[in-house]
Amino acid sequence: MTEKSSKAKNILNSPAAQDSPSVEGAHAFSDQLLSDVSALPSLPGVYRYFDEQDQVLYVGKANSLKKRVSSYFQKNHGGTRIGHMVKKIHRMETTVVRSEAEALILENNLIKTLKPKYNILFRDDKSYPYLKITKPLVSSKKTPASQAPTEPASKPPNPSAQEISRVIYYRGAVDAKHEYFGPYPSVWAVREAIWLMQKVFRLRTCEDSVFNHRNRPCLLYQIKRCSAPCVGLVSVEKYNEDVKNAAALLRGETQQIIKELESKMTAHAEKLEFELAAELRNQISALSKVLHQQAVETAGDQDVDILSVQLQGGKACVNLAMVRGGRHLGDRPYFPVHVEQAEAPEVLEAFLTQHYLDIKVPPILIASHKVPSDLIKALSLQSGVKIQFVLQPQGQRKIWLEMAVQNAQIQLTRLLAEEGSQKARTRSLVDVLDLAVEDMEAFRIECFDISHTSGEATQASCVVFHHHKMQGAEYRRYNIEGVTAGDDYAAMRQVLDRRYSKVAESVRLGEGKMPDLVLVDGGKGQIGVARDVFESLGLDISRLVGVEKGEGRKVGLEELVFADSREKVSLPADSAALMLVAQIRDEAHRFAITGMRAQRARVRVGASKIEDIAGVGPKKRAKLLQRFGGVKGVSQASVQDLMSVEGISEDLAESIYKALR
């Protein structure tokens, strides 16, 4: 060892290293790497390992960089996932931070950005739904809280929608303008909570535009799901009281609400206000019934998350169950990647690290496995919430955890069964097409479809099947321009040329790779166009297969058409290969249809944008669209061109020109 790495001798001569004489790969580490390790400070921070190709291998955090990083080079990790990673380390980078909480945030951001090969990764799809109660504007109208509905002549003006709170389903960023409850694990859980608010407190759910234009109660009032504040059948003060009680119920303050309602009911009865007392009695009865129908007892908890981890067959499932406001709302499974040879505590630690940095952390976490206490402290510091981590719960909490464990196992079993089925379908398709595939895991299919409405808003879609499943993140849409409306052949030619021209060049340079199979939705005509494109680009046409609709265009009667002049193949309806082809083709069709509809909607919204310009009514709009062939043509026209349309003056032409640019 050179003088440059003399400091590194302490690492390999440490007691830990001497206990494991064959410190794996120690001879392969560069002097610079070992010197960098030995020079690390005992401070919190984040470290990154890179291989010889400068690809990031792993991102980790540490309360003490020196202690944590040195452990990778002192221990014999054997043939584990970490062991394979350590053997590939060529260099490292570190960043010192002020606290472990900061290290937690930085680590999570780097993992999301770099997606290291040896980190356990969870999909970044934490778009949870919330229940939102809008905050009303302060009203200048005052109505006595005890006022009963009166004749229309003596009734005060109806309130506006801005003065009346509304309960709605919401997904997105929260703010301080309104009240948000959740997050909920599913849309169903939010809908059920909204139903509860309607059943007990009769809160409105209608749009503001509907509310402001009502002159009589709607059906929800008739079935006792709304108190009809839109037409003044309940005072603003009384309605706001119901909103306050609804928010308290969502926070889990059930008993306090019932006691307050009972107290008010008694007070009204003593004053001989029997109608008002009866209303409160009915509300208490509805609330008691709903609470009695709850399948899971609350055990007095307010907000709790229950986490269970299950491992099987090289896969993992983290099941997250949520209790909000004392009510069990259901659960949601997560399936991480890069979990080969990982252990349950390691998976749970990765989930906590990646999940709760941008999601509100409840004060109680119940888990099936232990994680480092430093991680819980860091989460508490970062979130500002003191987190209680419960490992061996009792009573109702124990039942919750048992349910979470069972659900995790069920979800993992389902995943393994589905993946096994997909692998069988992939193998069947490879066999049917007689493809030479060395690595079935890397087998890749790209499928194309064209969609339009009578030539309007033509779009092409490309969907990707890889690693035995659809890869939504790799889907692409292509706007087709410069072709005759409805010419699917020209559209297919354009999308294939745009997709593979650059790929073909990189393949010739030995830097790129074509998909193993390219599917085209269509028969002999579409596959002929595809063959011409591939031949012009110097690509292998044996990869091209058309999916032709069978007799009567019935599902299950599709035929496979080949670009290399092979005979058509008709597969039986129960063929696993045909099922996979149909699945991919249908996904390409769905993706193209949704893109086309969105594009068409944007064009039509643009048309209404023209009509919104002062001085442009339906007739002038129609003339403009007819003259220039659509909104895009109008937006590209000059002032002089616009003036050539009948009824368009110079001033109006300038207004249109500015509005559309």
If asked whether residues 626 and 576 sit together in one domain, one would say: no
**Domain CATH code at residue 329:** 3.30.420.340
CATH number, domain of 645, equals: 1.10.150.20
Cα 552–Cα 553–Cα 559 angle in degrees, nearest 5: 110
pLDDT at 154: 53
Q: Is residue 431 part of a domain?
A: no
Q: Is position 235 within any domain?
A: yes
pLDDT over 70 percentage in the chain: 85
Is residue 463 scored above 90 in pLDDT? yes
DSSP string, 478-511: EE--SS-TT-HHHHHHHHHHHHHHHHHHHHHTTS
> 387 with 463, same domain?
no
**Inside any domain, residue 501:** yes
Predicted local confidence at residue 487, as pLDDT: 86
* 28/635 Cα distance (integer angstroms): 64
What CATH number should be reported for the domain holding residue 30?
3.40.1440.10
Of the candidates 563, 559, 541, 538, the residue with the CA atom closest to the CA atom of residue 549: 559
pLDDT of residue 2: 39
Are 647 and 617 found together in one domain? yes
Q: Are 477 and 506 in a shared domain?
A: yes
| pLDDT for res 447 | 95
- How many structural domains comprise the chain? 5
Q: CB neighbours of 198 closer than 8 A, spacing ≥ 6?
A: 167, 205, 220, 225, 226
The pLDDT tens digits of the residues spanning 277-308 come to 887 787 777 666 655 444 444 445 578 999 99
| Whether the predicted pLDDT of 390 surpasses 90 | yes
Average pLDDT, the chain: 81
The span from the CA of 599 to the CA of 453, in Å, is 11
Distance CA 81, CA 118 (A): 7
Q: For residues 289 and 309, state if they share a domain.
A: no
Which helix (H) or strand (E) is 130 found in, with range?
A: strand 129-133
What number is the average pLDDT over the span 422-426?
88
Residues 286 and 357 both lie in one domain: no
Question: Quick check: 20 pLDDT over 60?
Answer: no
Q: Is residue 425 part of a domain?
A: no
DSSP structure class, residue 202: -
- State whether 106 and 219 are in the same domain: no
> What is the CB neighbour count within 10 angstroms for residue 441?
10
Residue 592 near residue 475, CB atoms below 8 Å: no
Lowest-confidence region among 243-257, 271-285, 292-306, 545-559: 292-306
Assess contact for 597 and 456: CB atoms under 8 A. no
Residue 22 has pLDDT above 50, yes or no: no
The answer to the question of residue 361 being in a domain is: yes
379 and 456 housed in the same domain: no
- Give pLDDT, residue 103: 87
What's the rounded Cα separation, in Å, for the pair 255 and 289?
Answer: 14
Domain end position, chosen among 267, 293, 319: 293
Partners of residue 60 on adjacent β-strands: 47
Residue 146 lies in a domain: no
- Are 315 and 366 found together in one domain? yes
* Residue count (the chain): 661
Together in a domain, 462 and 576: yes
Rounded to the nearest angstrom, the gap between the alpha carbon of residue 211 and the centroid of all alpha carbons in its chain is 32
Distance CA 351, CA 316 (A): 11
Domain final residue, candidates 599, 628, 643 = 599
At 543, phi and psi to the nearest 5? -80, -15
- Are residues 571 and 468 both part of a single domain? yes
322 and 238 in a single domain? The answer is: no
Pick from 293, 319, 339: which residue ends a domain?
293
pLDDT digits (tens, 9 = 90+) for 202-228: 899 998 888 988 889 999 999 988 999
Domain that holds residue 233: 129-140+155-293
Cβ atoms of residues 233 and 221 within 8 Å: yes
Residue 122 lies in a domain: no
- ∠ CA 19-24-25, rounded to 5°: 140
DSSP 102: H
Contact 65, 43 (CB under 8 A): yes
What pLDDT is attached to residue 453?
66
Task: Tell me, yes or no, whether 19 lies in a domain.
Answer: yes
Distance CA 427, CA 464 (A): 17
What is the pLDDT, as a whole number, of residue 554? 64
pLDDT at 45: 92
With a CB cutoff of 8 Å and minimum separation 6, the contacts of 465 are 444, 445, 446, 447, 471, 580, 584
149-192 pLDDT, tens per residue? 444 445 567 888 888 999 988 887 777 788 888 788 888 888 88
User: Do the beta carbons of residue 62 and residue 54 sit within 8 Å?
Assistant: no
Is a pLDDT exceeding 70 seen at residue 456? no
> Per residue in 82-119, pLDDT tens?
888 888 898 999 999 988 888 888 988 898 888 898 99
